Structure 1
Amino acid sequence: MPTNPMWANLSTTSNIQEESTMFGVPSAILQKAVTVAGNGTMLNIMSEDRSFFEFMVFLHLADFQDNKIRQFNVYFNSDNPLPYIPQYLAADYVYSRNWYSSTDGKFNITLAATAKSLLPPMLNALEIYTLVAHSTPTTFSKDFDAIMAIKFEYGIKKNWMGDPCSPSRFAWDGVICRNTSDNIPRIISLDLSNSNLHGVISNNFTLLTALENLNLTGNQLNGTIPGSLCKLNAGSFIFSYNSDQDVCKKTSPSSSRSRATILAISIAAPVMVVAILGLSYLIWRVKRKSNIFAYNPPRVPEPTNASRNEKYHWDHLQENENRQFTYEELEKITDNFQLIIGEGGFGRVYHGRLEDNTEVAVKMLSGTSSSGFNGFLAEVQSLTKVHHKNLVSLVGYCSEKAHLALVYEYMSRGNLFDHLRGLYIAKLVRLKV
């Protein structure tokens, strides 16, 4: 910053968070600032440089005095004011937004405190960007777009500003250009060795179609090499990557055979894995079927004084693959028959929960009900013969001494009769209304 008797210098040792944009300046610069000397409320910056033709101004600001309010308006050459409140210990910037054209190179910047501000304006740094006119041609437009894309993709920290090739004395570091017959500069060589690049090899390199030499050694790059990269310049392209050797040279017959072997293995291995899995599945199915056919369910003891028809029903039940429960197991899954969820002529129905947390209904036959026993066996016959997705299925049974029980699926939302009865009552209510 230039000196001025109307300014007062400020400084701090506190760390200031830098800007993450391409226009950011180091924290060490932002730790110093100028403000208005005395009791003034207006900071004026005036300059005259006849070498300026077109220019744009950037003001870098960061407040490190947090004890009072600081607000001000920024004027560029008396344009409309830009209201601004600087952030505490955090960098920010304000720019003129327009390119100013001037034949004499004069410009004026004013920072004026608002009526609410208790502190005068402050300024940490000032940058002026100018357009430099020159007669030399600029870099081929597609090469320029490609090299700019590479710059932003990898965040390259070099003197890569302005035109990559022109003027030649200001060419970018690592960039070599050659003029075509039409006097248009083309990028023919790019050296980005030891440039702290990370990630994959960008496809943007393939857009530099006049490129003859590319050096990416000494970086942290990974991934595959773009297939069209080595085809640049009809195969005469030189590419240095993990070593100083050219990775685009034609491979020897032995290396070609090794690649073919790797390709064959990469194809055969998944096929073998699929075949093994398929064979394992078939063996499992065969074993499972044999286990099913070999299953011999325990014989259900015949209840005492059962008639011939009743004996038939119990014989039919034992031929099915239902689980046989003990009375002790029924006590456990129903929590000692605590929750009654139904009752009929055969006895009571209790809510239960199996070991895998599956809810079931346990229907116990009452010892005092003779008619209930016949209905009980009739239900056995229905559940073991009829199977449908909308009917409850039999989970198991218990036939232990005087304890007879059926265990079947639990209907958490009630039965069909309850739902139809609810609909019927609802319709009657609507008709009455």
Structure 2
Amino acid sequence: MVLLSFFRDTVGFGPNRYHFGTNYQHIRFPDDPYDRIWQRYEDIASWTDLPNKSNGEIQNPPNDTYDAPSAVMRSASTPLNASAMDLSWSSDSSMSVGVNPTYILVLYFAELDASQDLRQFDVSVDNDLLLASAFSPKFLLATVLSGIVRGSGEHSISLTTTSNSVLDPLISAMEIFMVRPVNESATDSVDAWTMMTIQTKYSVKRNWVGDPCVPTSLAWDGLNCSYTPSSAPRITGLNMSSSGLVSEIDASFGQILLLQHLDLSHNSLSGSIPDFLGQLPALKFLDLSSNNLSGSIPCNLLEKSQNGLLALRVDNPNLHGDCAPRPVGSKNKIKLILEIVLPVIAAIALLFVAALVFVILPRIKKRPDVVPSASLFENRRFRYKELKRITNNFNTVIGRGGFGFVYLGKLENETQVAVKMRSDTSSQGDTEFLAEAQHLARVHHKNLVSLIGYCKDKKHLSLVYEYMDGGNLQDRLRGQELLSWLQRLKIAQDSACGLEYLHKSCSPPLIHRDVKTGNILLSTNLEAKLSDFGLTRALSGEAVTHITTQPAGTLGYLDPEYHATAHLSEKSDVYSFGAVLLVLITGRPAYITVGETEGITIARWVEDRLSEGDIEGVIDPRIQGDCDVNSVWKVADLALRCTKKVARERPTMTEVVEGIGESLLLENSSRSMRCSLAGTGGSAFADGDSISALETEVMGETSAR
């Protein structure tokens, strides 16, 4: 066994990027257009060099993040008369890596032997398989495997030949990155989303990657931020002068409420100057000069400028400095209107209180059977007539299930709600329906749908809960608007956190029993929330399982052990969530029809293909080329562990949340690297996500030079 340290005393902290094979020189520009420095790995007596005898060009996959240079990939190392390659590395003791450092390990492979003999091996890091199945490099095609490694001290890598393999393992190149945590709070969410919108709207090509304000050393170009210990960083200055901005001034600028300095000069902005700029409460400097703006200058901007509250520059040839004057005496008119209106409002309020005390309350006391007692629910109680009014006589259907229909409604304050009505033919009885209300009333989590109120008015049963205007995940995956892999990961993370809350934070724990894409609701911003608690069960006392007489669930998502034994546990939800992950990866339904009468669950369908190493045949074709394959591999491996046939072999939802977080880190790091290599920041986070809590930094880059 060969054990070598990447951080040797003779080199110090230095190298973090290696190539293997016949070239004994450093490889850098012009062979690597990004001027990455690849050092020849140490000459090992028990290894031999494997050249590219076919002289064919090594190709990178389309939209490849790492874009390995051909000069690095055209040769490799393989063991002599051995079935394994073993390597190790440890962080340098002089390097401040923290108590529990995190690394990203990147391994490069390409098959150089044209014989078509099978080369298959397992890749392990610290004795854990990096992939769920054996790996086979493809002929003259660069393939990258990456994984997260945590902890200080020594770490090991093993490439071990499988029993089916004819050829021994090989490796072409290797990189190690260190992930440094950012202790600062993430930028205020509204400010961050606004900057993402501006970046996308104007296709800004700067270093705009990750969180706008943190870490402070990597704040976005042109931004000034305020930092206070007790609150999130806020954006106070934005300089986008000479940035090639085209079109009108976007309304997003009006969302940065603490903005003091805004420079949009020397661009090609057109249209009129919007009023919202004058409504920014903290704005002290505004430069709109040298654009193609037209029309008049808003009065509020001119007034602030004339009063010395705003430094205003608006030099545009088609602008004129006048504005619509405010009518004389308008303040007196407003005062007069208020003097008339306020007493009327007060009188109406008194009449309403009197009606409530002397008319409405006595009627309620005479009809105790209309609604449950106050001890059952603390939420708002609706009468059936109210539901007819807020749903416009049940005009808009937004969903349907075994219980009946779900209607769109609107409360007095214009808040949209979903009204779930139990029909007379519903398969859901009164007890089951009200059980859902009880569960909703006791759970409070940002990733669980919130109960607003209920109705039990004679024969009418209904629940009123928050309306999620993005629809459900099942419909979004089937629709025309594509969900990127990064968006799918975020949805998975949100849903997993909601399910973890039910299992871990509720007392007694709650088991959902019907986790599926149709019960994951989305907001416009793709925030995900778990819904539909009609089948939810509580585990009483210290029980970790529960026996049901009628196992419930949906085909493809239903835990086979639960279906066979009727033993319900949290691991039943874990199985269902594993199926959700596989649906996100593949874009296929949870139960796939094969032929006219037969079918197969998504778990077994994916397992069959991954056993052959066919990850490309599993990934949804619509997101291929726009996702980090290693991130997908990690989620697929996690999903297959969730869908193990034996419940005790499945992970907990806490472990699932952690696994999805690691996959998000890989995907975000991959996108960040792609932007860095391309020299533009416009494409990496077009869908609104950022690496707000992490800074990925190449270790030892300067010393390697």
TM-score, scaled to structure 2: 0.29
| Larger Cα-atom Rg | 1
TM-score, scaled to structure 1: 0.44
